[in-house]
Amino acid sequence: MSDVGTAERALRCLDLTDLTDNCTDQAIDALCAKALDPRGPVAAVCVWPQFVVRARETLRGSSVRIATVVNFPGGGEDVGRVTDDVQEALADGANEIDLVLPYDALRRGNPAIAAEMIEAVREMTDQGRLLKVILETGELKEPALIEKESRLAVDAGADFIKTSTGKTPVSATPEAAEIMLNVIKASGRPVGLKPSGGIRTLADAKIYLDLADRIMGPGWATPQTFRIGASSVYDALIAAIEGRASTAAVGTY
């Protein structure tokens, strides 16, 4: 596939993201305007819970979905607080919930709390709404732990498994994504993958698309099964579509 074709494919799979600590209403408006670019549109915008209503109003009538984060970024273990936050986000109009798994519990050898949290949120995200479970693979580090956490999330009902919050020193890596894709393939369930954080260039995006094509088969990676969590890659994708060179932009995670 040409660079233009790869860039167009990646753009349609993009969760255009602003999870900066100083995000404003004006930044959300700009994010949503990018999301609606006719060369896309992107799959979704991913914003803090307090901006869901504004994004919903700005994107009303479009195909762009609204994702928000819960238990983010720390991956706490209070299931009741998480479900309260999810309920509020869904009431505000979120279509997709990106839930940080309590990965420290898994490292301690206590997966039960993680499974309980996913299952509780799973029960709430119905009617076409998606649950994306963030594994924070850069903190787990060990391949065996990443595989175990991936299987737990898939078995507990995740619609997508996502590598990272983008808030840790190590975010998405091809090695983690490969483990996650192999778990998805072995499960036989229609679960998607979302590499997230540190994806800044067309070459970065292509690595993950190529991985998905190799493991899951050509054509598997669509917005229904594959997302890229980033904003810094947006300008690079637009530049490639327009035939321009681009330098990596500063990320907005």
Report the C-alpha gap between 200 and 124 in whole angstroms. Answer: 33
| Active-site position among 18, 132, 159, 162 | 162
Report the C-alpha gap between 100 and 135 in whole angstroms. Answer: 7
| Active-site position among 98, 132, 159, 204 | 98
Asked if 71 contacts 82 with a C-beta cutoff of 8 angstroms, the reply is yes
29 belongs to the catalytic site: no
98 belongs to the catalytic site: yes
Exposure pattern of 54-85 as b/e (b: 16+ CB <10 Å)?
Answer: bbbebbeeeebbbbbbbbbbebbbebeebbeb
Which pair of structure tokens corresponds to residue 124?
Answer: 């709430």
Mode of pairing for the β-strands spanning 192-194 and 160-162: parallel
Q: Which residues contact 42 (CB under 8 A, 6 or more apart)?
A: 11, 12, 13, 14, 15, 16, 34, 35, 64, 234
Dihedral of CA 59/193/117/124: which sign? positive
| Active-site position among 15, 18, 132, 194 | 194
85 belongs to the catalytic site: no
Cβ atoms within 10 A of the Cβ of 121, count? 25
Q: Which residues are catalytic?
A: 98, 162, 194
